[in-house]
């Protein structure tokens, strides 16, 4: 969440001359509802079901780069599925940078509750730590601080 996956993915896809797919945008295009709308209106489980369905549909395409939501690898066996289908990359962004981006973000994230002081830092940190177990299963780990170096390194694969 807020790691810079879409921005990084678009740059890398362009550099590699691959079609770019943003899973959250695909969900919106196919269903007419954003990830946030799905979660608010139907609950996270319903969202994860449609997300998984579209991931399975997409993963069979030939040569592409996909940016998933931050929770995608953490549900069902999605990370194993993605690892089997191709090369997975974890854009390892520090918790401090993620928190800063979330505080500046203009979009609502229904999984993050706000209190009178703003975002609930403890809840965000708990979610981040839970997800790390899955992110660490990616085949490649890229420090988010050096996206240009990451793109040139990945282009050599």
CA distance 4 to 48: 21
Burial of 66 (0-12, 13-18, 19+ CB in 10 A): buried
* Mean of all residue pLDDT scores within the chain: 85
CATH of domain 5-149: 3.40.50.300
Model-level pTM?
Answer: 0.83
User: How far from each other are the two terminal CA atoms of the chain, in whole angstroms?
Assistant: 26
Cα 27 to Cα 32, 36, 49, 57, 58: the distances in Å are: 7, 11, 11, 11, 11
* 58-67, 102-111, 120-129: the lowest-pLDDT one: 102-111
Instruction: Reply yes or no on whether the pLDDT at 113 is more than 90.
Output: no
- Token pair 């706000």 is found at 114
């Amino acid at each position: 969440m807020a790691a810079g996956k879409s921005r990084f993915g678009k740059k890398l896809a362009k550099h590699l001359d691959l079609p770019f797919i943003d899973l959250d945008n695909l969900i919106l295009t196919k269903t007419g509802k954003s990830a946030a709308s799905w979660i608010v209106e139907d609950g996270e489980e319903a969202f994860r079901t449609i997300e998984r369905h579209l991931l399975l549909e997409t993963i069979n395409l030939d040569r592409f780069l996909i940016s998933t939501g931050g929770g995608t690898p953490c549900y069902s066996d999605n990370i194993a599925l993605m690892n089997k289908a191709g090369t997975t990359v974890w854009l390892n962004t520090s918790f401090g940078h993620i928190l800063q981006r979330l505080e500046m973000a203009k979009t609502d994230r229904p999984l993050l509750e706000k209190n009178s002081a703003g975002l609930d830092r403890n809840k965000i940190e708990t979610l981040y730590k839970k997800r790390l177990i899955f992110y660490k299963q990616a085949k490649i780990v890229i420090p988010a601080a050096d996206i240009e170096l990451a793109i040139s390194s990945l282009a050599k694969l």
